[in-house]
Structure formats: structure tokens, C-alpha cells
Structure 1
């Protein structure tokens, strides 16, 4: 009996170690870039583009609404997670909601407290890969977990070098993510035309037979929703590049491989 009990406890401990806890599953950057794009592409009404950054540190957890460039659109809200014997509770500011655990993640429990939460959105499902939100109008939207990306980019300056050759603006350690994240290069007093890089991890919905792909786009600010050009790679690729002669860029999934060591001194155009 003791041996059987010990085995059961070991199995439970191993399962708990394998399964992520709710706080870990919540932490990260999430956007509904894919749902927003494909709903509009199919001619259906798309949910508003939504991005959340949920961060954790020694002071606790916070959630911030962000735009496509990762800039904050709202003040930070406090997030707390409490785990019970049968249910977990997510509290955003003062709005507490119960969640039931399963092999597929955490789902909004049927039995809730009676507190009315006046919020633009509420989390109603959590998995390792995504969050589902219920919006204020009752519709739902799925926000996929993003992977952090680091890029370098080069754009020719308008003025040539004294010898008549191209003078490149080279910028490295550009940070974005693969769920529609964007970053601007050039413009202002840089002497180079402004461009915008955008990254997506694309999974085409049925009945499309297109293979999932990593896609790197380049946009111009006067038409930010239409790409000037793009390149793609296998969805499991750790790096993707683009060379259009008038601009170049290379992006690496953070942690997937060593970041590029190219610098403004070693870049040759």
C-alpha cells in the first residue's frame, strides 16, 4: 500500500513538473494578428487588432495593452493568480474570475462570483500557446503567444559618401515579435528613408494547403497595411532575411540560435 501510494505521489509530482502553471502560461506577449488578418481576408468582420504584454517580476504581474510596435496603449493593470484545489483564479485589477483546469489549459468556469467587471476585455481561456478574450460587445478573439525577434536592417542614406558610393544607415538589435510585431528604421534626422519591418508566424486556416511559414515584411509609413515586399521561410526556421538592394534586413528568433554579430563596421552593403 505504501509502495503504491509513493508511486502515485511520484507520478503526480512528475505531471505537475511537466505541466506549466497558470502564471507561467499567462506571461508573455500575445496578439490576435492572425485572426484579425484572416477574418478580414475572408470578407468577414474582423475583431479589432489587440495586443497584450503580461509581465512578471519580483513585484508581481502586470498586463498592458500594446500597439503593433509594442508601445503601451494603456496603464499597467495588476494581475494576480491564485491556485486552489479544484480551480484557479485570475484577478485583473479588482475583477476576479474562476478557471477550471484541464489537459487543454484553463477555461472560464461555469460558476463565477457575482462581481460585475466593467472592462473592455476579460480573459476566458488560457493555453500554453494562446489567450482567448471576451470583448465588451460579447465577441471573442484569440491572441497567439509571440516569440521575441531581434533584427538588423540597413537602408541607404539619401546623400552619397564623398567618393560617390552608397552610405548605409545600419541599425542592429531591433526588437519585435513574430505575431505582427513591427519596428521602424530610418526617417527623422537619420538621413535615410523610413521603413517598417513586420514579422508573422503564419498558419493558414483550412481549406488552404499552404504550409505554415515565417514571413518578414517591409512596409513604408505612407501605406502601413500593404507590404512593399516580403520573404518567407519554414515555420521552424530560426532566421529569415530580405535583400531588395534598396534595403536589407535579417531577423533571428531570440534563443533559437546565436544572434547576428554583424555591425556597422563589418556591414558591406
Structure 2
């Protein structure tokens, strides 16, 4: 029979599986990575994990595309975070919330009557912890990528947490512009006159 101390040691040594730890959804360390250098911490590699209802997990990229097969094994480096939550190494993971977006981009050429013509794409799935969606212009309009973050600012910042929608055109890092709303807002949108976009929370 194991002594209590041995049981405690075994519990801490046991691997943490996605099923026993992470609720279903997409988890990322986006905000931890974003502000690491500003807070004087070592910057971790960007990580995104998708966990399904069966407790299996796989890596995904910022566009939500799978980067491997589903696994039932323990997530490497996953441990409980002091004060609650989860981390990989020392990089905090956050559960994203899914959103559905539409994007409309002004075409290079107007309509025959001279009025402005627009593309329109809807039902675009994205997640709010650094997720991205690209809308190809297919030669008739600029290619546009939107990105969503639920931002908690660096320690010491006077900025308030915000749900932020970014619009990218030619630069995947620096946005053309962005808009923001309350972090618990059900919708965030932007209108730059040449592109309009809106993202709404999806109930799960």
C-alpha cells in the first residue's frame, strides 16, 4: 500500500492529459507571448492546441488548420498554473472563444453604372486568441486577413482589457488598422471605407 506522501508524489508525476485538464476548444499562449519581452520575461514559442469532446488534442495554426493528428497522449509540458489555469513550460494558455465573421472588400473596378462594387464573404470561423482568417481577392480586390485578440495588456499598462479586430493587407504583423470593444462584447466591427468586417460570438 502506498503511503500518503508517495501518493502525492505519484499525483504530481502523473502526466496531465487533455481530457483531465483542458475543456474542449482552442487554447493558445498568444497573450503570454505577445507581452513577454515587455514584461521582461523570456518569450516562448507560439502554441495553439485544439481539444475535442473526447479529450484528444492536436496542434493548430493561427488559421485553425490542423498541424497534426489527434492524440490521446499527455500534452508535453502541460502543468497547472499557480493561481489557476494551465501552462506549457511557464507560458500561460488561455481558452479562446469562437466567433463568426463577415468581410466585404471594395473591388478594384466599379459597377458599370460607376458605383462602387464590393466582395462579400461570410460565415468565416475564427477564434479570439490570435486567430486569423484570410479572404482572397482573387484578382478583383485586395487580399485581406483579419485577426482577433482578446487582449489583457502587459503588467503596469493603464489600458483596459479589450476585444480587438485587426485588418491586415500586405503585412502579416503590422495591421492596416484595428477596432476594439469590451472583452465580453458579443460583436466587434470595423469600417475602413475600402474594407468592412464584423465578428460575432458563437454560442457553444
Q: Same fold per TM (> 0.5)?
A: yes
Shift of 1:76: 1.7
Give the whole-Å Cα distance in 1 for the aligned partners of 2:21 and 2:68. 22
Where do residues 243-254 of structure 1 align in structure 2 (5 Å cutoff)?
A: 243-254=191-202
2:44 is the alignment partner of 1:47: yes
Change (3 A) 1:187 1:163: same
Give the TM-score normalised by structure 1.
Answer: 0.63
Provide the residue aligned with 2:78 in structure 1. Answer: 123
Shift of 1:223: 1.5
Deviation string 1:172-205 (CA, Å, 9 cap, x unpaired) is 111101101100113335x221111111111113
Contact 2:28 2:49 in 1 (8 A): yes
In the alignment, structure 1 segments of 5+ residues that lack a partner are 1-21, 79-91, 96-118, 135-139, 257-269
Structure whose alpha-carbon radius of gyration is higher: 1
Q: Considering only aligned residues, what root-mean-square deviation do their CA atoms show, in Å? A: 2.3
Where do residues 156-171 of structure 1 align in structure 2 (5 Å cutoff)?
A: 156-171=106-121
2:28 is the alignment partner of 1:31: yes
Give the whole-Å Cα distance in 2 for the aligned partners of 1:186 and 1:252. 21
Number of residue-to-residue matches in the alignment: 185
Shift of 1:133: 1.3
Give the whole-Å Cα distance in 2 for the aligned partners of 1:67 and 1:216. 18
Shift of 1:38: 0.5
Contact 2:167 2:176 in 1 (8 A): yes
Give the whole-Å Cα distance in 2 for the aligned partners of 1:219 and 1:209. 26
Contact 2:39 2:154 in 1 (8 A): no
Moved >2 Å (runs of 4+) = 22-26, 40-45, 186-189
2:24 is the alignment partner of 1:74: no
Q: Whose strand fraction is larger, Structure 1's or Structure 2's?
A: 1
Give the whole-Å Cα distance in 1 for the aligned partners of 2:179 and 2:168. 12
Change (3 A) 1:38 1:126: closer
Residue 131 of structure 2: SS of its match in structure 1? strand
Match for residue 55 of structure 2 among 61, 68, 71: 61
Relative contact order, higher structure (CA 8 A, sep 6+): 2
Contact 2:27 2:93 in 1 (8 A): yes
Contact 1:184 1:195 in 2 (8 A): yes
Residue 248 of structure 1: SS of its match in structure 2? strand
Provide the residue aligned with 1:201 in structure 2. Answer: 150
Deviation string 1:139-191 (CA, Å, 9 cap, x unpaired) is x21110000011111001222211121211111111101101100113335x2
Provide the residue aligned with 1:234 in structure 2. Answer: 182
Provide the residue aligned with 2:164 in structure 1. Answer: 215
Give the whole-Å Cα distance in 1 for the aligned partners of 2:46 and 2:146. 18
